[in-house]
Chains A and B, each alone.
Chain A
Amino acid sequence: MKKSFQIPCSTNYLKDAREFFNDVLNEVGLDDTDQNAIILAVDEVCANIIIHSKCKESQQINLSIEVKDGKLIFEITDKGKHGFDINTYEGPDLDEIIETKRKGGVGILLVKKIMDKIEMFSSNGINICRLYKTI
């Protein structure tokens, strides 16, 4: 099963993305807490893409979810110029964030804790992020 959805490139539409994933995952039968954590990870990636790419609301972010062989595969694609790669991103640690009173920085930490594998690459001007989770 693979389902797709699009949101405009604005954080105002993150809730719509979460609702789309929630509707699909409701059919999978996950524990509520696990389902929320998985949606959180995808939300964090989308938020990072939107914030770092400085894209316009007229641009779209494509989202898809595939349920296959006991795995969830999420794909998020955009055409922004963020050059942002989760795998090489070395975020600050928790103590540093608290000490410096910065309000961001833990999103990627959460994605890495929740997901089993993260792929990020660009092809023909399209940024592709895939998140894998065994269920």
Chain B
Amino acid sequence: MINIDTSIENDVATIILNGDVDASSSLDLDNAINGVKNDGHKKILIDAQELHYISSAGLGVFMSYIKDFEKEQIKLVLFGLNEKVLNVFKMLGLDQLLSIESNAEDALKSVNA
């Protein structure tokens, strides 16, 4: 079960996650990212401060956008991941393939760089 809110400030879209992303809820995450992409946003932040759990279904969503975002020059930055969630990204080396920052301030700098 995941609650997802999206906020737009200036030219940055922030997707705020609250709950767990697993096989039952990964489609909601996918729809949220796809939504801001289709609206033409080139700077996307993922606020994961209240993301309590992620399984491979959630990782798969992020992985599926890597190529398209490179091609379309869309920047996606995750921030606020707790240790447990970050460890899941690290197990597959995804922390090297995705842009991950510890807090909102650094994430904003990174997405605007």
Contacts and interface: CB of A to CB of B under 8 A. Distances in A.
Interface of A: 10-12, 14-15, 18, 32-33, 36-37, 40, 43-44, 47, 50-51, 94, 97-99, 101-107, 109-110, 113-114
B26 interface: yes
A101 B68 contact: yes
Given A18-B20, A101-B68, 6 more contacts: A11-B23, A33-B83, A40-B53, A43-B22, A97-B60, A103-B64
Q: How large is the interface on B (under 10, 10 to 19, 20 to 34, 35 or more residues)?
A: 20 to 34
Interface stretch (B9-17, B43-51, B84-92): B84-92
* Main SS class of interface, B: helix
A14 B60 contact: no
7 contacts: A11-B23, A40-B88, A104-B56, A107-B56, A109-B56, A109-B92, A110-B56
A79 B84 CA distance: 32
* Main SS class of interface, A: helix
B68 to A, nearest CB: 7
B63 interface: yes
Contacts of A33: 83-84, 87
B88 A50 contact: no
Interface in B50-99: 53, 55-57, 59-61, 63-68, 83-84, 87-88, 91-93, 97
